[in-house]
Amino acid sequence: MRPESRPAADPIPATRWDHRSEGDDWTRAALRALKDHGSPLVDLTPRDIGRWCPGYDGAPDHARRAFWVGFLSTLAEYESRWRPGAVGGGGRWFGLVQIAPATADGYRCEARSGGALKDGGKNLACAIRIMATTVPRDGVIHSSGPDWGGVSADWGPMRSASKRADMREWLRGQEYCQLFSSPRPEARPELAQEARDDRSNAKAVRIAARSPR
């Protein structure tokens, strides 16, 4: 009996932690999580995605997963400068994207202690579990106060306009956020008629220009 072929692995997308020796391992861990408990993120098209990744709406799943990995890499820059052993908030938050053990426990993450959250891959898998709840719940990546929504409900850097702008600018420049080919939209009837009128007027002007005076 012929063995079934294994599904092709996602390509390694561009991230902001590419310069780190652990970068590819973190990326693979995040991709695995996005194929598992993070699938609600991949299935969803957030209402504000056009500001973050213009090509996301028409993108295949592998490009959508690439976006979320890239997004996490920009968030990790501001949370920990990509240091998996980082501890902040006076010993309250741990790892790449600074997760509190109580939060990890509440979301039933695999890593629920400070020590476990210092594992880069497990930290990202936990972040994806959290986002796979909050982003579909609110329908957006970011919404502002008084009740912060989406990713901004849990991560402080997302509440800074300048940091969000930097994250968006970098993500929008990546290949996985470019527009993917899609059927050409049909012209609206009134616009189509306007275009026909313009062509008719242009033709009349050319004929008049050629006519002897």
Question: 54-88, pLDDT tens digit by residue?
Answer: 999 999 999 999 999 999 999 999 999 999 999 99
Residue 185 has what pLDDT?
Answer: 41
Residue 94 host element (H or E)? strand 93-94
Q: For residue 190, tell me if it sits in a domain.
A: no
pTM of the model: 0.81
Q: What are the φ and ψ backbone dihedral angles of 137, each rounded to 5 degrees? A: -60, -45
Residue 210 has what pLDDT?
Answer: 43
Q: In sequence order, what are the residues at sequence separation of 6 or more whose Cβ sits closer than 8 angstroms to the Cβ of residue 49?
A: 56, 57, 141
Q: How far apart are CA 24 and CA 121, in angstroms?
A: 10
Q: For residue 180, tell me if it sits in a domain.
A: yes
Q: How many domains does the chain have?
A: 1
Q: For residue 204, tell me if it sits in a domain.
A: no
Q: For residue 206, tell me if it sits in a domain.
A: no
Q: For residue 11, tell me if it sits in a domain.
A: no
Angle at 123 between CA 119 and CA 127, to 5 degrees: 175
Q: For residue 9, tell me if it sits in a domain.
A: no
Give, for all 213 residues of the chain, the pLDDT tens digit: 544 545 568 889 999 999 999 999 999 999 999 999 999 999 999 999 999 999 999 999 999 999 999 999 999 999 999 999 999 999 999 999 999 999 999 999 999 999 999 999 999 999 999 999 999 999 999 999 788 999 999 999 999 999 999 999 999 999 999 987 653 344 444 444 444 444 444 444 343 444 443
Q: For residue 16, tell me if it sits in a domain.
A: no
Q: For residue 3, tell me if it sits in a domain.
A: no
Domain that holds residue 51: 23-184
